[in-house]
A and B are shown apart, each in its own frame.
Chain A
C-alpha cells in the first residue's frame, strides 16, 4: 500500500511540474480557444441544410452503444444501439431483436463498448461495416453501414475483459479480439492465488465473410497469463502480423496498480497470424469445448436468431514455431499503434516518460538472426536494442495512444499531462503540443488506423470535463475535441459532449458511406414470419393463452385498430408491419402498461411487441412517431375481458 501511495505522489508531482511548464496559460487561453480570434467558428460551421464532411463512429463506452457524429460540426447524428437495450426504438425489447443480446450467460442487456474499427480493403477504408467490442461480456458486433444497424454479434469464449479488440486486418480478413484479463482456460474452480502460470490469455481471430460479413472464430491463440491491453494489425509491409501490448507480465492477481508495475519492461506480442492460419488450415490446433452465442439479424426476416456454439479451435503458440515473439517495451504499454507504412510499431508505455518505437524490419532481422534475450513460457523475447527504431524523448506524461496523418506525423495522447503531442515519424522530433480538457484517452484521425489516413482533423476523446460545460450535478458528460491538423500546428476548433465515455472512434469520409445509406426496406422483400403484406391477411389468432395480432400500419391508422376478445392472463403479440414505402416515415407503437418498451418500425419492416394485460378494461394503443398531419388520430383500442370471459376474438378497422 505504501508503495502505491509513493507512486501516486510522484505522479502527481510530475503532473504538477508539467502543468507548470505549459499548463499555466491553459486557463488564460480559454477565451482565445473559442473561434473569434481565429476563424475556427467558420471552419466547424456546417450551415443548415449542409452536410458534414466525415462520419465519426465514436464508442459509447459504458452506454454499450455506438455514437454517430458528423465532422467538423460535432453534431450527434444518431446513437446506434449495439450491446445495450434501447427503449427508444425497441432494440433488445422487441421479440425480433432480443436474441441479439443473448449470450452463454443468458440475456445480457448491457455492455461496455470500446473500439470501433471500419472495414478495409487493401488497407484503405471501404465503408462496408463497423466492428465494435463489448468489453464486459466479451462480444464483437458488426454494424452494417447500409442500414446502420447491428447485424451480428458473436461472443468470445475463454476471454474476459475483451479489450484489445476489435481491430481488423487490412483486407478485413479477421477481426481480432484479445482478452485483457487472463482467466483459467477452460474455466474451473481454482484458487486465485494460483494465477501465475495457470491463467491464460486468449487472442481470438474471427474470420469475416467478404460477401455477407458473417463472422466465425477461426482460432484462439492461448497465450501466457498476461493482460493483453490493446492491439493493432500490421499493414502494408507488416500485413500478416498483429501486435498486442501487454501489461502485468508479473502475473500479479491482486493490487495490480503496484504489483503489475514492477517490471521495467513489459511486452508487445508480435503474432504472425498468416503462419498460424496456415497451420490451422492444414489441420493444426485443438478443438476444445466452449459455449458461446452467435447472433445474426436477418435483413429480410427482420428477425434475429441466436445459435449457441459448443466448440472452438485453440492453438498453443509453442506448436507453431516462429509464430509469436515478444518485443520488450517499457512500462506497461497501453496503446499499440502501427504507422501507415507498417514499419513502425509504437508502444505507448503509460508509466514511462518516453515513447518507444519498434522497427518491423529490425524485428524481422532479429528473428532471422535469433537475437533473443531469453524467453517467456517458451516464447522468444527479442533484444530491445536490436528492434528499437527510436525513442520520442520526454514528449509528455502518460502516453496512451498514437494516431497518424498522411504526412508522416504521429499524434500521441497523454492522459496525465492532458495534451496531444505531434511528432515526426522517423526523426522522433516533437513538433507541436496542445492541451486538451481534460485527460485525453484515444485520439482519432479519419482513416488514421489504415494505410491511407485523411489528415485533416484530429479528435481527442476525453475522459474528464469538469468545468467545460454547464454543470449537471456530480455526473458529467465526457467530451470530444476537434483539432485542425492540416497546418504545421494543431488548432483547437471545437469541443462537444459525447454519449457515454468515448474510447476509440473511427472516422470515414462521408462520400464513402452516405450514397449507399438505405432509405426504406422493400415490403416485397419482407420475409418476416408474421408480416402482413396485404390488408386481407390482417387477423388476430389465439393459440392457447397466446394471442397473435397480425397488424399493419400506414398513414394514419393501424389495421385493425379495434380488438376484442383478449383476456387477463393472455400474452399478446403485436406483430406490426409498416406498409409505408416512403423515406423517413417510421411509425411507432406503444400500448398502455407494457412492461418493455415501444417499437419504432421502419418502412417495410415488421416488429413484434409482447404485452401481458393485467387489468380488465379497454386499453389504448397509439403511434409514437409524429408521422403525419393525422398522427394524433393514429390510435386504437384493445378490450381486455376477465380471464373466464367467453368473448370471441374480433377485430376491425373503420366499422361503425
Chain B
C-alpha cells in the first residue's frame, strides 16, 4: 500500500493550505466602489482584501445596523477551527504512514474522509448561521430601516455561495484558494482509498 499511503499523506497535507489561504471570499461592489471592498475568511480570522476594507465595510454596514465584522477574539470558531484542521492533518498523515507500512487497512483512509466531510458540513452550517445572524440581527436604532415590498424588514444575509444584489451592492461569495485545496486534498484521500483497495487485492 505504498502508493496509497503517499497519496493519503499528500491529500491530508493539502489541508495545511488553510493556514495560508482564505477559505472563503466575499466581495462587495457598488457604483461608488469600482474597486470592490472584500473580505477573505480564513480559519483563523477575517481579513480585508485591501488594508482598510474591513473598516470600510463596517463603516457602510453601520447605516443599516449590521454588527461589525467579528475580530478573532469575538468568535470561538477562529480558535477551534485551526486546532481541528491541525488534528485532521496529523491524523491523516499518521494514517497515511501506517498505511504505507501496511499497518492499517485502506478503509481507514475512507474513514478519515467521512470524518472530514462531517466536520466540513458542520463548519459550513456554522458559517451559514453566522451569516444569517450577521445579516438579520440588526440594530433597532439603525440609521436606515428598509422594508421589503411585503412590508417585512429587509435583511442583509450575504449568500453562502454565489451572487446576490443587496441594495446598491453586488455581493459575490465564493470559495477561496484554501477551500479548493481542501477539496483536492479530500479527493486525494478518496483516491488513496481506491488505490489502496486495488493494491490490497493484488
Nearest Cβ distance between residue A185 and chain B, in whole angstroms?
53
Contacts of B144 in A (CB 8 A): 629
Check B117 for interface membership: any CB of A closer than 8 A: no
The reply to whether B52 and A581 contact each other, CB–CB distance below 8 Å, is: yes
Contacts of B59 in A (CB 8 A): 554-555, 580, 582
How far is B156's CA from A511's CA once the two chains are assembled, in angstroms? 40
Query: What residue of chain B has the Cβ atom nearest to residue A633's Cβ?
Result: B143
Contacts of A555 in B (CB 8 A): 59
Nearest Cβ distance between residue B142 and chain A, in whole angstroms?
12
Chain A residues close to B by CB (< 8 Å):
520, 554-555, 580-583, 629-630
Contacts of A583 in B (CB 8 A): 35
How far is B55's CA from A87's CA once the two chains are assembled, in angstroms? 31
How far is B59's CA from A583's CA once the two chains are assembled, in angstroms? 13
Chain B residues close to A by CB (< 8 Å):
35, 51-52, 55-56, 59, 63, 143-144
Nearest Cβ distance between residue B143 and chain A, in whole angstroms?
7
Nearest Cβ distance between residue B64 and chain A, in whole angstroms?
11
The reply to whether A629 and B63 contact each other, CB–CB distance below 8 Å, is: yes
How far is B115's CA from A452's CA once the two chains are assembled, in angstroms? 66
The answer, among B35, B55, B143, for a CB contact under 8 Å with A581, is: B55
Query: What residue of chain A has the Cβ atom nearest to residue B52's Cβ?
Result: A581
Interface SS, B side: mixed
The reply to whether B143 and A630 contact each other, CB–CB distance below 8 Å, is: yes
How far is B58's CA from A511's CA once the two chains are assembled, in angstroms? 33
In the complex, the 9 A-B pairs of residues with the closest C-beta atoms, listed nearest first: A581-B52, A582-B56, A581-B55, A555-B59, A582-B52, A630-B143, A581-B56, A582-B59, A629-B63
Interface SS, A side: loop
How far is B144's CA from A344's CA once the two chains are assembled, in angstroms? 69
Q: With A554-B59, A582-B59, A629-B63 given, is the CB distance from A520 to B143 under 8 Å?
A: no
The reply to whether B52 and A520 contact each other, CB–CB distance below 8 Å, is: yes
Nearest Cβ distance between residue A295 and chain B, in whole angstroms?
31
* Residue picked from B35, B51, B59, most chain A C-beta under 10 Å: B59
Write 17 A-B pairs (CB below 8 A) sorted by A numbering: A520-B52, A554-B59, A555-B59, A580-B59, A581-B51, A581-B52, A581-B55, A581-B56, A582-B52, A582-B55, A582-B56, A582-B59, A583-B35, A629-B63, A629-B144, A630-B63, A630-B143
Nearest Cβ distance between residue A495 and chain B, in whole angstroms?
31
How far is B63's CA from A520's CA once the two chains are assembled, in angstroms? 22
Nearest Cβ distance between residue B180 and chain A, in whole angstroms?
30
Nearest Cβ distance between residue A555 and chain B, in whole angstroms?
6
Query: What residue of chain B has the Cβ atom nearest to residue A604's Cβ?
Result: B52
Nearest Cβ distance between residue B9 and chain A, in whole angstroms?
43
Nearest Cβ distance between residue B50 and chain A, in whole angstroms?
10
Nearest Cβ distance between residue A155 and chain B, in whole angstroms?
39
Nearest Cβ distance between residue A318 and chain B, in whole angstroms?
59
Query: What residue of chain A has the Cβ atom nearest to residue B144's Cβ?
Result: A629
How far is B30's CA from A583's CA once the two chains are assembled, in angstroms? 14
Contacts of A554 in B (CB 8 A): 59
How far is B56's CA from A580's CA once the two chains are assembled, in angstroms? 8
How far is B144's CA from A630's CA once the two chains are assembled, in angstroms? 10
Nearest Cβ distance between residue A49 and chain B, in whole angstroms?
9
How far is B144's CA from A629's CA once the two chains are assembled, in angstroms? 10
Contacts of B52 in A (CB 8 A): 520, 581-582
Nearest Cβ distance between residue A379 and chain B, in whole angstroms?
58
How far is B56's CA from A554's CA once the two chains are assembled, in angstroms? 11
How far is B52's CA from A551's CA once the two chains are assembled, in angstroms? 22
Nearest Cβ distance between residue A205 and chain B, in whole angstroms?
41
How far is B143's CA from A516's CA once the two chains are assembled, in angstroms? 36
How far is B52's CA from A580's CA once the two chains are assembled, in angstroms? 9
